[in-house]
Chain A
């Protein structure tokens, strides 16, 4: 009974924390009133929007998500330099863009969204589409000699970690 009341009031506890935190950071200076107001917003907004996000992701490991975020940020920096080099040196005629199909082991929509976002944020790859039943992801690569290697890289580097985070 208590559990159901909790689920009804806080459909997404993580979203509540994030919203409260964002509100406090927006204020640029901490005060008790603003913290209370942030927590109120964090409760009201997920409650009002829970119709559009009915399923709460069950397992979510915050610690691994933090390490994953730092890994992605490092990859963004490295990929940026690589893509900048491609833009400045490779002429259009020699550019080898390719479509890559990544078969997905991830099932949860939230996890697939994070994977697609990661792929787009690392320069050189853009996630373009999902197959109609959500079993594979279509990725466009700017310049590659070996599309299979890029696909395996995405699977081992990002998807394996996301499987651990959302488990």
Chain B
């Protein structure tokens, strides 16, 4: 019985920590004023915020006596997919020139997202995109 109580408390603590980091992530999303810095906030929510909530779920299910492994799967899928979406948002920012132009790479010609620049395609002005596609 005491073990179940301990797991319940552990679940509560994990919920609090996870909620705190999600709150900080939301504050960051609202506070930052640049598209690229704003992108940093959701990565925090996606990793430790959701991770702690899932840990709480594991603790709660153990306290009830029915442990599942589904939370580990959710975590694994999240860790695989989250960087892809972050990368896409960053690429869109570079593509639309919403941020500072990054420094040129040392070895190759340019960044792959900026490769259209060499072809003389202007993505920064909205009207120009229509003729491109």
Contacts and interface: CB of A to CB of B under 8 A. Distances in A.
Bound pair (A, B): yes
Interface stretch (B5-13, B41-49, B120-128): B41-49
Given A87-B28, A123-B47, A138 B68 contact: no
- The size class of the interface chain A forms with chain B is 35 or more
A140 B99 CA distance: 11
A2 B106 CA distance: 46
A105 B39 CA distance: 27
9 contacts: A80-B44, A116-B83, A120-B43, A121-B83, A126-B39, A128-B87, A128-B90, A128-B93, A140-B90
A121 B79 contact: yes
B107 A121 contact: no
Given A120-B82, A121-B79, 18 more contacts: A26-B70, A77-B48, A87-B25, A87-B27, A87-B31, A92-B32, A101-B106, A117-B80, A120-B43, A121-B43, A124-B40, A128-B102, A129-B94, A129-B114, A130-B111, A132-B109, A132-B115, A140-B90
A126 B90 contact: yes
Given A25-B69, A80-B47, A140-B90, A131 B40 contact: no
B110 interface: yes
A28 B66 CA distance: 10
Contacts of A117: 79-80, 83
Interface of A: 22, 25-26, 28, 76-77, 80, 83-84, 87-88, 92, 95, 97, 99, 101, 103, 116-117, 120-121, 123-124, 126-136, 138, 140, 142
Contacts of A142: 37, 40
A57 to B, nearest CB: 16
A126 B90 CA distance: 8
A120 B107 contact: no
B4 to A, nearest CB: 21
